[in-house]
Structure 1
C-alpha cells in the first residue's frame, strides 16, 4: 500500500512533446498506465458524429505485430489484470493494470496499437455493428436518455446538445470522405503533443522513466493541437435552469470564463453539498419532508466552461420552488465561511486517506487528471468565482451548520499491551488465529477466523461477516437497511474503507476492505446501526441493462429459497454468524474486541456446503423489462476438490479470448460478450454471458454450447510450449508478491465457504501447475456433460428439455 502521505508524482515533458507523470510506490503490488488523449467526441467534424468513439474501438482490434489474440486486451486479461478505455467530450482515455513483471509488455502493446492501427474496412464494418448495438441499447436506456435530457436547457449551438453516440447511419465506413475524416482526426490528435501518460508502480523512478521513454519513441511526434472553444453554454442572460420529473428535481448551473483551478473548486463544493450530516442541506430537506436524496456532480468542464448538476429525489407532493429556495439559502451560508479553512483541512485529510487506499490504476488515473489533494489557494479563488456566478450571497435565513467531523479520519493511538485477544468468553472465541488453533490442536473452527495467509504488516485489511437466516429478508427491509447505512458508508469510504451490506437469499454479508486502521471503529458503528430501529421505505434503484440485472440476480439464484420475512428482530434472533478477517495486525485485531461482542445472532462455526446442482439443467427467467436479449450460463465444478477448481480456472484462462473472438468479433452477436471464472457462495464455476439486440436467448445458448463442444479441439490445438507457458501465467496470478490484498481476501473468503484449508493460496497455484493436458481434457468433458450442473439466467422462458424451471 502507499505510504500515509504519498509523494507527489514526478511530472515532465519529454523531448518529443509527451507529458508524463511517474509515481514510484514500493509497496504497490500492481503497476498501471493511464494515457489521456486531448481529443474527444466534441472535436469530431459535425458531419461524422461518433467518429472519436469509433476510433477508440478500432484501436483495440489488433496490429500487424500484435493481432487481436495477442493485443493489449487479451494480454491484460490473460495475466489477470484490468483494461478499458473511455471517450468523453474532450478527452479519450486508455488505461490498464498488470503485475509488475508483465507491465512493460502491456505498455509496449498500448504504444503499438496507438501508433500502428490496421483500420482495414472489414474490421471497421464489423465494429460499426457493435456501436450500432450499443446505440440501440443506449437509445432504450431510460437513465441514459434522462442524462441526455439534462442538456435541453442549453444553447442549441453548443456541442452538448448534439448527437455523439455513433451508429450505422452516422458512420458511413464505405465513403471516402468518412475515411479521410477518420485519418485526419487520428493524425491530428493521436500524437505526443496531445497525450499525457501516467505510470504508477513499485518499479524505481529510473525504470518507470525508461518505460515512458520507450513508449514515447513509438508514438508520432507532434505539437499540441488547439481544440476549438465552444459557444456559450446558454443564450439567455440567465445561467441556470431546472427540470422537474417524476419524483425528481434537477437544478443545473452553467459557468463561463472560470479560472484554471475551477475543477478542484467544484469538487470541493459538491463534496459539502452531498454531506448528509445534521444541520446541512440534505438533512434539513429530509427532516422537513421536502426531499429524500441529493446528489451534486460536475457534468462538464472545458475551456473555462462548466456545468453543475444537483439532483433531488422527491417524495410525493414535493414543492420544487421551496427546494430551490433552500438550496440558494444554504449556498449563501456556505459562501460566508472564511476561506473554508476547517472544511479544507477535513477535505485534505480525506483525499490523503483515499490516495493512501488507492490502487495503482486509481493513482495513475488521478495523476492523468492532475487532481490536487485538497483545495489550494487558487482553488479558493475559483470557488469564490463559482459561488459568485451561481448568485450565492452572504444573506441567509436558515439554521445551517457545518458538518460534524468524520469520526474515522483521525487515527487513534494504539492500544496499550496490544495483542491478540484470545477467547475470554464464548463471544470472543473468534479472536484466535488459524495458526493458534492448529498449534493447540483445536478441532473446532472459530466463528471469526483471523487468517495468517496475508501479512498484517501492510495498511490493508479485509473483514467478512456472514449471517445465515431462517428466512429471506424482503426487498423493502433490505433496501431500508442499506439506506440506513448510507451516511456511515460514506464516512467510511472517505476514511479509506469500502463496506457493503448485501443479501443473497437467506444470507446477509457485511464486507469491509481497505485501510485496516479505521476498520474496528467502522465495524462497531455498522453493527450499532444494523441493530437500531429505522423507518421503512420503498426500494428504489437505478435501471440496469439486462445483462447487469442477470448478474445481480445470479448469487441469490444459486442459494436455496426460504420463506420471506420483514421482521428484523426475528431475523436477528435466529441468525447464525461466522466470519473471516485477513491482513489485520495484532493491534487491529485487539481493537475489534468490542465490535465482536456486539454481533447480533449466535456464533456458529459449522459450515454448510455450497448447494450442489450436479447433472441438472436449471433455468431461471428474469424479467428485465427490455426488448434486448440477455443470457448467463453458470457451470459449477462437479466437486469441491481444489484440483477441479484448478482445472476450471485453466479452462477459463484458455477460453476467454477465443470465446470473445468467436461470439463478439466473428459472429457479432452483441456488444456485451464475456466469459470467466466466478466464485459464488463458495461454489466455483465458469460463467458465460451475452446481451444481444436481435439474437434470441435460445440461440445465444446454442452458440455458447457450440463453443463448449469445441473446447477439446481448442485444447488439442495448443502446442506444448504454449500450454506450459499459459499454465505458468495463470499460476503466477496467485503469487502473493503480486496478488493485491483485496483480491487475495476475496479468494480466502470463497475458500472458507468452500471448506478449503487456510493454506489455500499456497495450494491453488501448486494445483494449477500439476494440470496435464489429459486432466484438462477430462475437465472439458465434465463441463460439456454438465456433471456439475448448468444454471441459466435469461430474460426468456425456459426452452424445454433438458432444461427445467428452477424452483
Structure 2
C-alpha cells in the first residue's frame, strides 16, 4: 500500500487561546480552512430557538470592511472555491477552500466576519425570511420530520426534544430582548477560547502558523466557556417504525473519552454487506433490504446510536434479537485484523482527500483508527448494549478488502498485458507520444496530465442500443454496491451512470488499486441477470437535488428502453480515456481492458448540440415545494463561446444569489453555475421555493438574464480584468486537482476537442474582451443555444415544448 502523503497535523494553543491544527500537504493544489466554534443550537437561551443558526446566517452578510459583494462567500465564489457553514447541537462550523494565492485573503474575510459582524436590522429581517422558508420546507419534508421524530423516545427535558431551526415566530428580531440575547451569544462564544482553526495546504508549516497567528489576532480574545451539560439520556434503547423504514436507537450516558472513535469503528463493520455479517443475513432471509448505522448525537459522554433499516415494522423484534446476537459474536472476536484494515482504509481516504476534506477531519480531531483506549471504550459500549456470551455459529468476520492489498510490480511496463485482437490499437505512453493528431485508439492513455502522482482517472463509455429500464438501472447499480464500497475504502471513487443510451464507468483517486477495481467492476456489471436482487427503497432527496440527478439523462435524445442487459452489453460500442496513469498502472490494466464488453470504437459520434429549442421536462419530486433548473447551453461548440460562457457564469454567481435569495427571498436553495454535460457547456440556474411557483421563478430568472449586460457595464476595466484573471487562474495546472483536471479533459473529449483542450481554453479566456462578452450575453438572452427547463410542475405555453 502506498505510504500516506499527508502526515498527522500539528496542534497547539496560541497565546490568546485559539487552538490551531496545521497540516502541511505538499501534494495539494489548494488550501482550506475550517473554523469550529464550540457553541450550537443547544447553547442558546430557551426563549429564542434558532438563534445560533440565525447568527451563522448573519455572519455571511458582510462587514464594514468587507460588504456583502466583497465578503467571504462572494470572494470564494469569484475565485472558483468552495464555502459553507453548519450549525449543529453544540458546534458551529465555517469552512472554505481556495487556490493558494487567494487563500490568505479568504482567511482575512473569515476572521473579520466572525469578529465584526454588521448585525444590521434590515439585514436581519430579510435573513429571517430565509430561515422561515427553510422552516416551511423542513416542516413539509417527510424525511426531516422522521429525523425529528427519532428523538421522541428520549426524556422530555433533553434539548434534543426541542425545536432549534428557527422561524419567524421564534426569531423576534425587533425585540430588544432578542437583540441583547443575540449580542450576548456572539460575545460569549465567538472568542478565541471557544474556537479551533484548522489550516491545510501546500504552504510550509511556518507559513501556515503565521497565517493562523494573523487570523487569531483579529478575533476577540477570551477563555473557554464550559458549555452546560445536558440532562441524562437515561441509557436505554427504543424503536420506531415508519412506512418503509424502521429505526433502532441506543442511548448512552457517561461514555469514556474515546467513545467517538469506538462508535465509528463499530458502525463501519455493522454497515458491511459482506457475507457472514448482519446485513447479509437480513437480506438473505428477507428481513431487511438495507441497514445504515451511525451516531446521530455525541456530546459530553452522551451518544445516540441510530440503526436505520429498510424493512417493515413486523420484522423489527426478530431483527433486534439478531442484532444482539451479532454484537455478542463481534464482542468476542479478535479485532486486530479489523483494526489494521480500518486504519489502512482511513489512511487511504486521507491520501486522496482534498484540502477541504482534510481541514474538516482535523478540526473534528478524528482519530486515525482505533487506539487501545478506543478498544476499552468499544467494550464499554457493547457492555451497555447488553452483549452476552452465547451467540449463533453462522456469523463470521467480513472478508478482507481486496483493494487494500498492494499489487505485485509488473516486469514490462511498455506492453499491455492481456491485449487481444479485439483490442488491437490500444497504446501506452511509450507506444504513442503524439499529442497533436487525433487519438484513434478506443482507450486513450492521455499525456495531458503528468503521471508522477499517486492519483489518476479512468473513464469508460458505452453507446448502447437502448436506454436501461428503471429496473435494469437499479440492478446495475446494486451489482456494484460492494465493489464501490471496497473501492472507496481503498481510495478509489467508483461510479456508474446510465443516462439515455450513454453508459459511463468512472474511476478517480489512487491509481495503484485501479486495475483491480476496474476488473471487479466489469465482472459485476456484466454478470447481472433477471434474478439479481433489487435495490432498496431510497428516501427522496430535496426536490432541487432530484432535478440535478435527472439532468444528465434529460440532456440526451430520448430513446427506447430495454431490460435485456446481456444484449445491450453485447451490441454496445465503447471508448475510454485514462489520465495520469504511470506505465506500471497502464500495464496492470491489460487484463481488465481485455474484458470490456462490446466493440471497441474510437469514432463514437458526438452528442448533438442543442438546436435552439425551448424544452421542458416535468419531474415528479413528490414534494409540495416548487423547484426549477434552467439550463442555458452555449450557442456553438466553439472555444470562444465556451470561454465567454464561463466568464458569464463567474459574473452571475454572486448577483444571482443576492437578487433571488436575499432581495426577492424566493427560496433558500438558490445557485447559478457552469456545468458540462456530455460535452455540452451550459450555465445552470437553480431555485427551490416553498411559496413561489416554478413558472414565476422562471420569470425572475429570465429577468435576471436580461439584466446581465447591465452587470457587465457596471464593471470598470480593472474589475473586468480581475474577473478574467481569476477565471484563468482556476485552470492553472498548479491549481487543478487530478480529479478536476481529468473531468475537464473528459468533457473536452466528449465535445470533440484535442488533448490540449485546457491550454486552448485558458488562451481563449485570456483573449476575451468586453465586446465579446457583451455579444455572448446577448446570445444568452436570445437563447441561441436553446433552453432546457427541468421543473416539478407542468409546462407553461409557447415557446416551451414538452420532452420525455
Distance 1:3 1:200 in 2: 19
Unaligned stretches of 5+ residues in structure 1: none
Q: CA deviation at 1:37?
A: 0.3
The equivalent residue for 1:574 is 571
Q: CA deviation at 1:541?
A: 2.0
Q: What secondary structure does 2:73 align onto?
A: helix
The equivalent residue for 1:418 is 413
Distance 2:608 2:561 in 1: 19
The equivalent residue for 2:350 is 355
The equivalent residue for 2:46 is 46
Task: Please show how residues 226-625 of structure 1 align to structure 2 within 5 Å.
Answer: 226-234=226-234, 239-314=236-311, 319-338=315-334, 340-421=335-416, 425-429=420-424, 431-433=426-428, 437=432, 439=434, 445-534=440-529, 535-537=532-534, 540-625=537-622
CA contact (8 A) 1:350 1:494 kept: yes
Going from structure 1 to structure 2, the CA distance change for 1:610 and 1:775 (only over 3 Å counts) comes to same
Q: CA deviation at 1:607?
A: 3.0
CA contact (8 A) 2:30 2:97 kept: yes
Out of 629, 640, 661, the residue aligned to residue 658 of structure 2 is 661
Question: Is 1:10 matched with 2:10?
Answer: yes
Question: Is 1:782 matched with 2:792?
Answer: no
Going from structure 1 to structure 2, the CA distance change for 1:342 and 1:444 (only over 3 Å counts) comes to closer
The equivalent residue for 2:116 is 116
CA contact (8 A) 1:114 1:219 kept: yes
The equivalent residue for 1:647 is 644
Segment of structure 1 superposing worse, 611-620 or 19-28 = 611-620
Unaligned stretches of 5+ residues in structure 2: none
Distance 1:410 1:581 in 2: 22
Going from structure 1 to structure 2, the CA distance change for 1:779 and 1:383 (only over 3 Å counts) comes to same
The equivalent residue for 1:185 is 185
Going from structure 1 to structure 2, the CA distance change for 1:764 and 1:577 (only over 3 Å counts) comes to same
The equivalent residue for 1:738 is 735
Q: What secondary structure does 1:97 align onto?
A: strand
The equivalent residue for 1:37 is 37
CA contact (8 A) 2:414 2:430 kept: no
Task: State the Cα deviation string for residues 588-610 of structure 1 (Å, max 9, x = none).
Answer: 01100000000111111113222
The equivalent residue for 1:752 is 749
CA contact (8 A) 1:480 1:539 kept: no
The equivalent residue for 1:85 is 85
CA contact (8 A) 1:558 1:611 kept: no
Distance 1:593 1:547 in 2: 41
Task: State the Cα deviation string for residues 79-132 of structure 1 (Å, max 9, x = none).
Answer: 111011000000000001111111101111100100100011100000000001
Going from structure 1 to structure 2, the CA distance change for 1:686 and 1:420 (only over 3 Å counts) comes to farther
Segment of structure 1 superposing worse, 345-354 or 609-618 = 609-618
Q: What secondary structure does 1:319 align onto?
A: helix
CA contact (8 A) 1:423 1:429 kept: no
Going from structure 1 to structure 2, the CA distance change for 1:124 and 1:94 (only over 3 Å counts) comes to same
Q: CA deviation at 1:439?
A: 3.5
Distance 2:518 2:383 in 1: 42
Please tell me the root mean square deviation across aligned C-alpha atoms, in Å: 1.7
Question: Is 1:795 matched with 2:787?
Answer: no
Distance 1:318 1:511 in 2: 40
Q: CA deviation at 1:440?
A: 10
CA contact (8 A) 2:23 2:200 kept: yes
Distance 1:89 1:499 in 2: 33
The equivalent residue for 2:143 is 143
Distance 2:12 2:44 in 1: 29
Q: CA deviation at 1:441?
A: 8.8
Going from structure 1 to structure 2, the CA distance change for 1:180 and 1:104 (only over 3 Å counts) comes to same
Going from structure 1 to structure 2, the CA distance change for 1:633 and 1:282 (only over 3 Å counts) comes to same
Task: State the Cα deviation string for residues 39-87 of structure 1 (Å, max 9, x = none).
Answer: 0000011111111000000000011111111111111111111011000
Going from structure 1 to structure 2, the CA distance change for 1:678 and 1:443 (only over 3 Å counts) comes to closer
Q: What secondary structure does 1:572 align onto?
A: helix
CA contact (8 A) 2:420 2:594 kept: no
The equivalent residue for 1:727 is 724
CA contact (8 A) 2:547 2:629 kept: yes
Q: CA deviation at 1:536?
A: 4.3
Q: CA deviation at 1:714?
A: 1.3
Segment of structure 1 superposing worse, 280-289 or 554-563 = 280-289
The equivalent residue for 1:211 is 211
Distance 1:431 1:4 in 2: 32
Going from structure 1 to structure 2, the CA distance change for 1:378 and 1:438 (only over 3 Å counts) comes to closer
Q: CA deviation at 1:444?
A: 5.8
Question: Is 1:765 matched with 2:762?
Answer: yes
Going from structure 1 to structure 2, the CA distance change for 1:380 and 1:5 (only over 3 Å counts) comes to farther
Distance 1:507 1:157 in 2: 54
Distance 1:689 1:572 in 2: 35
The equivalent residue for 1:195 is 195
Distance 1:637 1:73 in 2: 27
Going from structure 1 to structure 2, the CA distance change for 1:640 and 1:692 (only over 3 Å counts) comes to same
CA contact (8 A) 1:263 1:301 kept: yes
Going from structure 1 to structure 2, the CA distance change for 1:360 and 1:743 (only over 3 Å counts) comes to same
Aligned residues: 802
CA contact (8 A) 2:419 2:591 kept: no
Q: What secondary structure does 2:240 align onto?
A: strand
Distance 2:439 2:173 in 1: 67
CA contact (8 A) 1:37 1:189 kept: yes
Distance 1:87 1:143 in 2: 19
Task: Please show how residues 617-696 of structure 1 align to structure 2 within 5 Å.
Answer: 617-696=614-693
Task: State the Cα deviation string for residues 373-420 of structure 1 (Å, max 9, x = none).
Answer: 110011011111111111112221242111111111111231112235
Distance 1:561 1:722 in 2: 43
Going from structure 1 to structure 2, the CA distance change for 1:331 and 1:721 (only over 3 Å counts) comes to same
Distance 2:123 2:111 in 1: 20
Distance 1:166 1:14 in 2: 35
CA contact (8 A) 2:417 2:591 kept: no
Distance 1:576 1:110 in 2: 51
